[in-house]
Amino acid sequence: MFRTHRLSRVFVAAAGAAGLALSGLAGVPGAVAQSGIPPVDQIVHSPNIRQIANIPKQAPFNTTNALGTDIAFTGDHAIVGNYDGFVIYDIKQPSKPEIVSQVLCPGSQNDVSVSGNLLFLSTDSSRSDNSCQSAPLPASNKGAWEGIKVFDISDLKNPKYVSAVETDCGSHTHTLVPDEKTDSTLLYVSSYAPAANLPDCQPPHDKISIVKVPNQAPQDAALIATPVLFPDGGNPGGDNPDGTRRSATTGCHDLTAFPEKNLMGGACMGDGVLIDITDRLNPRVIERVQDNVNFAFWHSATFNNDGTKVVFTDELGGGGLATCNAKFGPNRGADGIYDITGTGDDRKLEFRSYYKISRYQAETENCVAHNGSLIPVKGRDIMVQAWYQGGISVWDFTDSANPKEIAWWERGPLSNTENITGGSWSAYYYNGYIYSSDIQKGLDVLDVRDRATAPGKSVKFDEFNPQTQPRYGR
């Protein structure tokens, strides 16, 4: 998402033949406009997926500017970030989720991760101090604060703020990696967009920050390393063939760790990188790729379960642009699928194909590839993914060169006349169900029923941070 700083939709005519389900939450038949775009807020979906619950945003998070963001899972609970704080849901009964607590703590993006009784929160907007009562303060002010906040969630009904660590350029996202040797949690902080007038975000900013949180003494959380990933400065940026701007690399947007493989995938604005994290405090870039034709902003990364592929996303337009249309076509604002070939330091990222939802969206709908996770099906590479107002797509990339969609679900636009930022920010599979953080509509729970995804129903986790990939089915 932005810092605060041909196949057309043919199901109008083909819905009967294709068996597509066009319905609202209660199953009331819906209509699709002649344009192929569903009416405002109308739910449409493939027959093998359905919504089983929705909890709208509640006060004080029920304003248009209180954007719902990322999700982490612990036991029978989902924790959803929001630009104004975070919300803890009880999901023991997926069809009847309940709000357990809400914590007001403004500071975009407020992406979350969880480890045991600790919750970590990213703050990527300059604030007057590190408290939850802070006010906006220009980043040009040396006293402004951005970084990581730590909460104790041993009592999920009453989370307690424990400590905070300031990081250069704030914390747009962070990635959790357990450090069992020292009984600590390491947070790899991604941040970007330096400028000469920002005292705590000076160029060059070709690094990440590593914060160490002692599990038994989280009050002692501290910044312990700032490794430089791009000593040569990374992608300088430029213009893509269609005139859109390709981002220069000034840090990373998102990192995804695969601790069992000692690997990390880095989506770093103008570069996609493969990182060796055998030495946790000294990550080494062992492969780097660029796509100076179709990618505008390398946003996130997802490994397959064998660690032999990476799906990178391109957040063309920063999450606020309508890119699911004829103008941008099938390769812009899409996923890029890369196979990992070779061994050791000779591993390479080999491009295989793009994947993008084929359903065109309205010009008022922000739509682009965004956050998702694997569905744990042994021997297959299947992913569920958020596309903002493009909804949710379940797709198979077992054949890297020929990805195929399995299921989809979406709402019609928030407005036919106004560009309102909305849709699914994150869509993740957890213990048999898909949980989606909708920017404006709150928490959605979906149930996908398909032969391809069915084995995933039996795989259970006690904790899940999507940017810290576990290995299943060993």
pLDDT tens digits for 30-61?
A: 445 556 899 999 999 999 999 999 999 999 99
CA pair distance 109, 360, nearest whole angstrom: 28
Q: What is the pLDDT of residues 345-367, one digit of tens each?
A: 999 999 999 999 999 999 999 99
Q: Six-digit token pair at 302?
A: 């997802």
> Which superfamily, per CATH, for 11-464?
YVTN repeat-like/Quinoprotein amine dehydrogenase (2.130.10.10)
Tens-digit pLDDT profile for residues 200-221 = 999 999 999 999 999 999 999 9
Is the model's pLDDT at 135 over the cut of 80? yes
Residue found under tokens 């993008």: 356
Mean pLDDT (whole number) for 295-316: 98
- Cα separation, 264 vs 275, whole angstroms: 5
Distances (CA, A) of 333 to 195, 324, 325, 446, 462: 26, 8, 10, 24, 33
The model's pTM is: 0.94
Mean pLDDT within 127-143: 97
Judged by average pLDDT, the poorest of 123-132, 239-248, 342-351 is 239-248
Look at residue 16 in the predicted model and tell me its pLDDT: 29
pLDDT at 35: 67
Asked if 364 and 419 touch (Cβ cutoff 8 Å), the reply is yes
Mean pLDDT, to the nearest integer, of 187-203? Answer: 97
Is residue 18's pLDDT more than 50?
Answer: no
Q: Give 107 or 15, the one with higher predicted confidence.
A: 107
Q: Is the pLDDT of residue 10 over 60?
A: no
Determine the Cα angle at 118 with ends 219 and 307, to 5°.
Answer: 120
* 414 touches 420 (CB < 8 A): yes
pLDDT of 192 over the 70 cut: yes
What pLDDT shows up at residue 1?
A: 55
User: Percentage of residues in the chain with pLDDT exceeding 70?
Assistant: 92
User: Tokens 């027959």 correspond to what residue?
Assistant: 47
3-state SS assignment for residue 219: helix
Q: What is the 3-state secondary structure (H, E, C) of the chain?
A: CCCCCCCCCCHHHHHHHHCCEEECCCCCECCCCCCCCCCCCCEEECCCEEEEEEECCCCCCCCCCCCEEEEEEECCEEEEEECCEEEEEECCCCCCCEEEEEEECCCCEEEEEEECCEEEEEEEEEECCCCCCCCECCCCCCCCEEEEEEEECCCCCCCEEEEEEECCCCCCEEEEEEEHHHCEEEEEEECCCCCCCCCCCCCCCCECEEEEEECCCHHHCEEEECCECCCCCCCCCEECCCCCEECCCCCCCEEEEEHHHCEEEEEEECEEEEEECCCCCCCEEEEEECCCCCCCCEEEEEECCCCCEEEEEECHHHHCCECCCCCCCCCCCCEEEEEEECCHHHCEEEEEEEECCCCCCCCCCCECCCEEEECCCCCCCEEEEECECCCEEEEECCCCCCCEEEEEEEECCCCCCCCCCCCEEEEEEECCEEEEEECCCEEEEEEECCCCCHHHHHCCCCEEECCECCCCCC
Q: What is the pLDDT of residue 241?
A: 79
Is the pLDDT at 21 greater than 80, yes or no?
A: no
Rounded distance between C-alpha atoms, residue 85 and residue 230, angstroms: 32
Give the tens place of pLDDT for each residue, 62-105. Answer: 999 999 999 999 999 999 999 999 999 999 999 999 999 999 99
